[in-house]
Amino acid sequence: MTRATKPVGEHIRDWRQRRRMSQLDLALEADISTRHLSFMETGRAMPSREMVLHLADHLEIPLRERNVILVAAGFAPVFAERGLDDPEFAAARKAVDLILKGHEPYPALVVDLRWNLVAANAAVAPYWRAWIPSCCPDR
């Protein structure tokens, strides 16, 4: 079963277990009944958008994963997902570039959550040329 097709209740249960919380712990913290939480986790009750976000707050679920849970519950994603090249992240991108430059002459990479290459310093190209000649044309 893929992440996108998993029911909302399974997502909630998975995150609750990751946080090492019992149903009682989460129910008390979120100010809901354990019965209602159990019903949501087993699929006997469908949570509202507000309840999904309320539980996600108490479970401290990352924003990207909150979108996944909202979609699983049948709601539109709330949190925008932007790349490091977004104009709002210009200062962050500048800091990343500065860190990459500071690692030279040693190779350094920046990858995202899914291990996609986001950035690399100039010292990476010679290593890639040595291992994968077709990846980097000579300068």
One domain for residues 8 and 65: yes
One domain for residues 54 and 106: no
pLDDT digits (tens, 9 = 90+) for 110-134: 998 788 888 999 988 888 877 777 7
Q: Domains in the chain: how many in total?
A: 2
- CATH number reported for the structural domain that contains residue 34 in this entry: 1.10.260.40
Asked if the model's pLDDT at residue 70 lies above 90, the reply is: yes
pLDDT digits (tens, 9 = 90+) for 12-41: 999 999 999 999 999 999 999 999 999 999
Cα distances (angstroms) measured from residue 115 to each of 57, 77, 101, 104, 118: 26, 23, 21, 22, 9
Give pLDDT, residue 137: 61
* Residue entry with tokens 């350094």: 108
Asked if residue 77 is part of any domain, the answer here is: no
Asked if the model's pLDDT at residue 2 lies above 50, the reply is: no
One domain for residues 19 and 65: yes
Determine the structural domain holding residue 58 and report its residue range.
3-72
Q: If you ran DSSP here, which 8-state letter would residue 137 be given?
A: -
One domain for residues 95 and 66: no
Give pLDDT, residue 114: 83
Asked if residue 139 is part of any domain, the answer here is: no
Give pLDDT, residue 129: 78
